[in-house]
Chain A
Amino acid sequence: QKEVEQDPGPLSVPEGAIVSLNCTYSNSAFQYFMWYRQYSRKGPELLMYTYSSGNKEDGRFTAQVDKSSKYISLFIRDSQPSDSATYLCAMKEGFSGGYNKLIFGAGTRLAVHP
């Protein structure tokens, strides 16, 4: 079983839809949770960053972390064609005296059509 599971999609939605992207994980020591957006032929771009449980909102984007269920989500409201990209979840353990590497999901490909 992979440490981080993410449905690869593709996910196709009409413009203006609410998009829900999700990841599950198995390591209860994960404390930091991130979402990256990757456009074709570009490097991943940090989109959202959350520590521990709870919600974080940034414009049309909301990140949720449910540590009890080992489940994280990214919601995109009023989706736009420019949101078409691959979304990667990533997470890592809390500080333990050294650098803990990020563990990535495989990414979900999202297409928003006009």
Chain B
Amino acid sequence: SAVISQKPSRDICQRGTSLTIQCQVDSQVTMMFWYRQQPGQSLTLIATANQGSEATYESGFVIDKFPISRPNLTFSTLTVSNMSPEDSSIYLCSVVSGGNEKLFFGSGTQLSVL
């Protein structure tokens, strides 16, 4: 399995500001994913980030709000832009490793927006 480091682990931000979350993997992976986990709700896929191409966003998520970078096969960032209290959530980075079906997660970023 892949070891995924994510930071910051938590942050408290002011409305209208932006936060960039970093995700580092200990091995090269083709596909990286960003999820949002809101209390009492299912994990929701925000976007898929492949190295060398634009991220693919799921319905309800747009690049202006959640820009993603994927500069190489071990690193990605997710920015939460122009934040509002509704963006308060846990954001998780994940990768596919050891076979197409197995998804592994970082420890998550707990974001609170005041």
Contacts and interface: CB of A to CB of B under 8 A. Distances in A.
A42 interface: yes
B103 A43 contact: no
Contacts of A41: 9, 107-108, 110
A4 B43 CA distance: 11
A101 B43 contact: no
B112 to A, nearest CB: 13
A99 B96 contact: yes
Contact of B42 (A4, A42, A43): A4
Nearest to A8: B40
A32 B102 CA distance: 9
Interface in B73-114: 92, 94, 96, 100-108, 110
Cβ-closest 9 pairs across A and B = A43-B105, A104-B43, A32-B101, A104-B42, A43-B107, A43-B108, A106-B42, A44-B105, A43-B106
Interface of A: 2, 4, 8, 32, 34, 36, 41-46, 49, 51, 88, 90, 92, 95, 99, 101-107
25 contacts: A4-B42, A32-B101, A34-B101, A36-B105, A41-B9, A41-B108, A41-B110, A42-B108, A43-B106, A46-B1, A46-B102, A49-B101, A49-B102, A51-B101, A90-B43, A92-B101, A99-B96, A99-B100, A101-B33, A102-B43, A102-B103, A103-B42, A104-B42, A105-B42, A107-B42
Interface of B: 1, 4, 6, 9, 31, 33, 40-43, 45, 48, 92, 94, 96, 100-108, 110
